[in-house]
Structure 1
Amino acid sequence: MRHLRFLRYVDQVARSGSIRKAADTLNVTASALNRRIMDMEDELGTQLFERRPRGMRLTAAGEVFARFIRSQFAETERMRSQIEDLKGLRRGNVRIACSQALAHGFLPEAISVFQRAYPLITFEVNVSDHERAMQALAALEVDVLLVFRPPQLPNFRPLLTLKQRLVVLMAAKHPLAKKKTLRLSDCRMYPLALPERSIGGRQLLDEVTARAGLSLAPSIQSNSFEFLRGCVARGQALSFQIEVGALPDYLAGSGVIALAIDQRDVPHANLVLGQLRDRNLPSAAAIFCEHLKKALQGIDSSTP
């Protein structure tokens, strides 16, 4: 597997954009790393990087080679996982990208339950918006994704689709807390703490308010759901999230509750578990996907 080490050198330089930074990460000298890159370029007969005053940038040939490298890493991980399966150890690593709504309660719980049965399987979790999650999947930086309203990708394969609605988060003592459902017009009277516009739930909210001619001007915006939940718990601000991230068990003890929005105002949209269509998942990732599907179906059957 020595050749994989040299491929990893190229990949790390591509990711960091710097020989020095990549060398620090790889624990090698910058001069040795630069020589390995030049040897690889000589072997391929083409330049992989543009050497600029402020760093290294992939050439068109380098972009092709970087995609090849990452596909090799993915296949190597799958092979190792299959070998470990044959040994009965169930070792492996699962790389997953997820929306922030899944990061606080659902996914940590799903991983915890899974690791009780497979304690030797490790996880790398990339919490990001749906656009970046899909980019990470396409670049083979993750094996699967679980995101709300993923963008279209030609070779994307959905494994499970779960309809989700937006709910309103508020302090338990908020004036609106006694209502069973809310209209968006009810929310206009209170300060709003909203996710940034790259978040799928915020985009859905902006679309429906634009169609309805409503204006919901936030007093607070953030890329952190945890921060927004903290703002909600301490005042009269309202925030919005998909229901899977605001189940009662996940909000218990936070001083925050969730109320449904009337479906006449905001339609359902899809939470999607998926992978690349032309990829064979490593065994650990494939087994975890089956576990996730059951967990999501359990939520679906218990949600009114």
Structure 2
Amino acid sequence: MDLLVPALRYFHEVARAGSVAGAARRLHVAPSAVSRQVASLERDFGVALFERHSRGMSLSDAGVQLLAHVRASERAAEAVVEDVRSGRGRHARTVTVAATEGFTHRLLPDAMATHRDQHPGTRFRLVVTGAEEATRLAREGEVDLAVTYALGPPRGVRVEQSVATGLHAVVAAGREPAGRSSVGLRDLVRHPLALADESTTQRQLFDLCCEAEGVEVEPALVSTSLQALLGMARRGAAVALLSGLTLAAPGDAGQEFAGLVAVPVVHPLLAQRSAQVQTMSGRVLPATARAFTALASARLAAGAAAWGISPPGSGAAPPPDPSAVAEDP
């Protein structure tokens, strides 16, 4: 059900398609009808909402502002419709979530299962993507919430929960530095390393730490694959560097990760990275999505508490249970 007035709906489609013709095809109307609606809006506002180019149209500064309000209004209208329908018991609510891979192995599936125990009709759609893209999807209202990492305060989203997170050296039991309570950066880089690729926030932060210390690293492996990183660690061929909050909770390691030990990496810059639950700024979520957002936020905070992850500037976290092992980069 579309509660937007036609002029705003047409404006939204032109912004999405990048042309009047493209919007008309999506709306199944004549291009002239789209042009009239956009022109009417521009007259009403007294500003140009689009910049016209030979290959299409792009939003002006005023258009960008209007689009943000349209998206927020659209999501608020959807929330009203969903709440009314769910109150009549005729429709199951789908909660859409964007997340980086590390949260998809344990935290989110556990939270989804718990939520469905309480609200059996709830459906979920989970988009696994990079940290910046997850934030963008939340910012633009394409998902209800994002569970992701950030280096600094994100713009255009409401941060529902934020906890500091560290990095851990994951290594085969009996291999250095498995016997330590923590490991410094200079000691760590003496070992062959298996690292996530440069697109991840954890790798970007690790590279910043190395630059600050004036050390160079030639990793034994760079990969987007968790299994590849863990495989190298399990064989004793490398030390895998993984994020604290994407590790299995202490004392809750799965069989597939047996034989690996997680050791906290100590460096003051590591406190710059946080794990967050994000939603669209100004958006009122439907009741079911609000409930799941609160649950995901609580699970994120509980995960940080379980690992004893320190707040920014406090130094190293207490060592985890040696049986705890990595879930994901």
Which bracket does the TM-score occupy, shorter chain normalised?
0.7 to 0.9
Residue identity over aligned pairs, in percent, reads 24
Q: 1:19, 1:33 within 8 Å by CA — same for their partners in 2?
A: no
Q: Within 1, Cα distance between the matches of 2:290 and 2:79?
A: 10
Q: In the TM superposition, what is the alpha-carbon distance from 1:257 to its structure 2 partner?
A: 3.1
Residues 162-213 of structure 1, C-alpha deviations (whole Å, 9 max, x = no match):
332211234x478437434444334434443323334221232123222323
Q: Within 2, Cα distance between the matches of 1:257 and 1:74?
A: 44
Name the SS of the counterpart of 2:179 in structure 1.
Answer: coil
Aligned residue number for residue 274 of structure 2 = 270
Aligned residue number for residue 80 of structure 1 = 81
Q: Within 2, Cα distance between the matches of 1:34 and 1:230?
A: 56
Is 1:280 matched with 2:284? yes
Name structure 1 gaps, 5 residues minimum.
Answer: none
Name the SS of the counterpart of 2:256 in structure 1.
Answer: coil
Q: Within 1, Cα distance between the matches of 2:5 and 2:255?
A: 47
Name structure 2 gaps, 5 residues minimum.
Answer: 308-319, 321-329
Aligned residue number for residue 14 of structure 1 = 15
TM-score by length of 2: 0.71
TM-score by length of 1: 0.76
Q: Within 1, Cα distance between the matches of 2:58 and 2:275?
A: 35
Residues 77-113 of structure 1, C-alpha deviations (whole Å, 9 max, x = no match):
2212321343256833333333332133322332233
Q: 1:158, 1:274 within 8 Å by CA — same for their partners in 2?
A: yes
Q: 1:108 to 1:5 in 2, by over 3 A?
A: farther
Name the SS of the counterpart of 1:149 in structure 2.
Answer: strand
Aligned residue number for residue 204 of structure 2 = 203
Q: Within 1, Cα distance between the matches of 2:19 and 2:221?
A: 36
Aligned residue number for residue 93 of structure 1 = 94
Q: Within 2, Cα distance between the matches of 1:219 and 1:21?
A: 48
Q: 1:2 to 1:39 in 2, by over 3 A?
A: farther
Q: 1:219 to 1:264 in 2, by over 3 A?
A: closer
Aligned residue number for residue 106 of structure 2 = 105
Q: 1:203 to 1:80 in 2, by over 3 A?
A: same
Is 1:39 matched with 2:36? yes
Q: 1:159 to 1:50 in 2, by over 3 A?
A: closer
Aligned residue number for residue 302 of structure 1 = 306
Q: 1:282 to 1:50 in 2, by over 3 A?
A: same
Name the SS of the counterpart of 1:123 in structure 2.
Answer: strand
The alignment yields a C-alpha RMSD, in angstroms, of 3.8
Where in structure 2 are the equivalents of 1:58-73 lying within 5 Å? 58-73=59-74
Paired residue type of 2:31: N
Name the SS of the counterpart of 1:95 in structure 2.
Answer: strand
Q: Within 1, Cα distance between the matches of 2:246 and 2:134?
A: 17
Aligned residue number for residue 247 of structure 2 = 246
Q: 2:10, 2:34 within 8 Å by CA — same for their partners in 1?
A: yes
Residues 112-146 of structure 1, C-alpha deviations (whole Å, 9 max, x = no match):
33223323333343444444433333333333332
Q: Within 2, Cα distance between the matches of 1:23 and 1:192?
A: 53
Aligned residue number for residue 259 of structure 1 = 262
Q: 1:251, 1:257 within 8 Å by CA — same for their partners in 2?
A: no
